[in-house]
Amino acid sequence: MRFRLRHKVVLVLGCVLVALLLSACGGTVQSKREVESTPQAIKKAIMVEATVQVAPTATFTHTPQPIATPMAVPPGLTPSLTPTSAPTLTSTHHFQRGEDYVAQGDHEKAIGQYDQAILLDRQYASAYYHRGIAYAALGQYERAIQDFDEAIRLDPQEADAYHKRGVVYGTLGQYKRGIEDLDEVIRLDPQNAIAYYHRGIAYSAREQYQWAIKDLDQAIRLDPQNAFAYYNRGIAYGRLKQYQWAIENLDQVIKLNPQNAFAFYNRGIAYVALEQYQRAIEDLDQAIKIDPRNPFAYYNRGVAYEKLGKSKKAQLDLQKAMELGYETP
């Protein structure tokens, strides 16, 4: 089974307010006529007093500033209003552009931006990690693993890189290596429900169903709404021929997702194994209603009809199964 799987620069503009306080001092001065008509001795005294000067009234004058003369453009040249070269982008800018492309579903362009980020900063662990995810999305799993390797070398405590690498190993069928990576994820992050889920899937692929069930137990404990965990635990119980436990898990899947044709189908198979043929037919009816192109559903419903002695219905289902591509063993 295939594994499934973001500165605000605050500019404080300090405005310095300069206040100019201008004050004027004034005095009382006798008029010239009064001074001239006064006796000489008194006149002399008055002249001494008259040395007090009245401060001139402050005046504001505006000096016109010269108007800047435009620079002359040499003949034959046209002035340009655009910079002569584009601003240099940092590794962070390229990384963010890559994220934007991923959000648009363009993984190839995203890889180009991550490439630029890494060229500018060879220690950029996140750029390697995200480029690996983009490679995996394009099905280039070996290149994805190489990037996850480098991300882990640069940041050995980053659980996500181990997780993604483990998932890719599982996709390649290298379940043992996938389990080793998922072991490390769980060591670094013991509450990671998805890591338990994926490791459980890997154990199932290796037919280690008891180990699978233990991991899927943990996945469900941490995330009780994970229908996939119930489904795969039900399949593991079925492989162990513990059909009642399988049915109980598939009940939960159908409760969480009533349109899951595979849950109805596999519960029907469990009912066949328990010889509860009428209940099996009801589930296989529903599986066919949701997915009418599933030849196995017709075939097994035919088996159930045959067990109930309904040979004509059994024959019609077998014929339909073969039309859809079912080949008898």
Sequential DSSP letters for 85-121: SPPPPPHHHHHHHHHHHHHTT-HHHHHHHHHHHHHH-
pLDDT of res. 42: 29
pLDDT of res. 38: 36
pLDDT of res. 214: 98
Pairwise CA distance, residues 136 & 228, whole Å: 22
Instruction: Quickly list H helices, 61-192.
Output: 91-103, 107-120, 125-137, 141-154, 159-171, 175-188
115-164, pLDDT tens digit by residue? Answer: 999 999 999 999 999 999 999 999 999 999 999 999 999 999 999 999 99
pLDDT of res. 54: 30
pLDDT of res. 35: 34
Instruction: Could you please state the CATH topology (level 3) that the domain comprising 156-258 is classified under.
Output: 1.25.40
Pairwise CA distance, residues 92 & 202, whole Å: 36
pLDDT of res. 154: 98
pLDDT of res. 329: 72
Contacting residues for 20 by C-beta, under 8 A, at least 6 apart: none
Decide if 90-154 and 156-258 have a common fold: yes
Location of structure tokens 């662990």: 125
Pairwise CA distance, residues 264 & 272, whole Å: 12
Q: Where are the domains of the chain?
A: 90-154, 156-258
pLDDT of res. 212: 98
Instruction: Could you please state the CATH topology (level 3) that the domain comprising 90-154 is classified under.
Output: 1.25.40
Q: What share of the chain is helix, strand, coil (3-state, %, to 5)?
A: 60, 0, 40
- Give the count of alpha carbons within 13 A of 17, CB side only: 2
Average pLDDT along the chain, 329 residues, taken 10 residues at a time: 31 28 34 37 32 30 36 43 64 96 97 96 96 98 98 97 98 98 98 98 98 98 98 98 98 98 98 98 98 97 97 97 90
